[in-house]
Amino acid sequence: MSDRFVILKRAFIDSLPVLMGYSAMGFAAGVLLSAHSGIDFAGVWAFLTSATSISGALQFMLVDWIAKRTPLLDVALLTFCLNVRYAMYGFSLIDRFKGIGFWKKFYLIWSLTDETYALETECKIPEKKKNIRYCLLLAFFDHSYWMIGVTAGALAGKALPFSNKGIDFAMTALFLVILTDQCREKLNRLPALIGGGAAFVCCLIFGASKMLIPSMILMITIFLACRKILDPAKKEKNA
């Protein structure tokens, strides 16, 4: 067997758990898009949106945004909230991705999801060229599963033989899963509590529809004011 095939096989096998996750989640998001967004040709839009943003939570939020014609500035801010965690992933990959071609690097960055990131950081192939080939294949597999899941869901959409009422809970569940995993790390617990608390307070004051932007402002203000307590880097310096 050639080296290329070995790497391809390894990337594919490692991506199998993601196949399960992405196709099932994507399918649910696709079904929602066709059933609740009120647009024609949901399959086409499902394909385009899943191909370009590759973000689970975003794919679910899109349905609501499209149905309500949410202003684009709000969309931009909400996308930022949803995906700000991606901005942290790259820091650990900078050295790995140094010196590779522009388009390869572009694709690796573009396709960086939670799951792909986790698998890429676990890859221990020492030779750089092979390591990058592995990452590219893995990213491509994961990306494909997501697109196929979402598009298939949108096409099956209304034809499903059972009622999909309540399927939107998949998005809430996704947030709860990410949150649970983040809270395994002690350092994340207080920030999560502040975020949830700020959201609760702003929901009472502004109502559910207008709570997100005030919540963001409130929590960032708290974070800046309490940096001495919350920032581990700062704490060490003071000690």
Partner 1 sequence: MSTTAYLWSLIAVTAGVTLLLRAFPFLLFGSGAKTPPVIEYIGKVLSPAAIAMLAAYCFACYFRDRPLSAHYYGAAELIAAVVVIGLQLWKKNPLISILCGTAVYMFFVQKIG
Restricting to residues 18-47, which ones interact with partner 1 according to CB under 8 A? 20-21, 24-25, 28, 39, 45
Comparing CB distances to partner 1, the nearer of 138 and 171 is 171
Binding of partner 1 by 144 (CB under 8 A): no
Contact segment (CB under 8 A) with partner 1 among 2-10, 90-98, 126-134, 147-155 equals: 90-98
Min separation Cβ 208 and partner 1, Å: 4
Interface with partner 1 (CB under 8 A), residue from 130, 131, 160, 182 = 182
Minimum distance between the CB of residue 181 and partner 1, rounded to whole angstroms?
7
Near partner 1 in 188-227, by CB under 8 A: 188-189, 191-196, 198-200, 203, 207-209, 211-212, 215-216, 219-220, 223-224, 227
How far apart are CB 184 and partner 1 at their closest, in Å? 8
- Residue closer to partner 1, measured from CB, 6 or 176: 176
Distances in Å between the Cα of 64 and the Cα atoms of 39, 67, 145, 189, 213 are 12, 5, 23, 29, 17
> Which of 6, 68, 110, 225 is close enough to bind partner 1 by CB under 8 A?
110
- Applying CB under 8 A, the span of 129-137, 142-150, 153-161, 173-181 interacting with partner 1 comes to 173-181
16 binds partner 1 (CB under 8 A): no
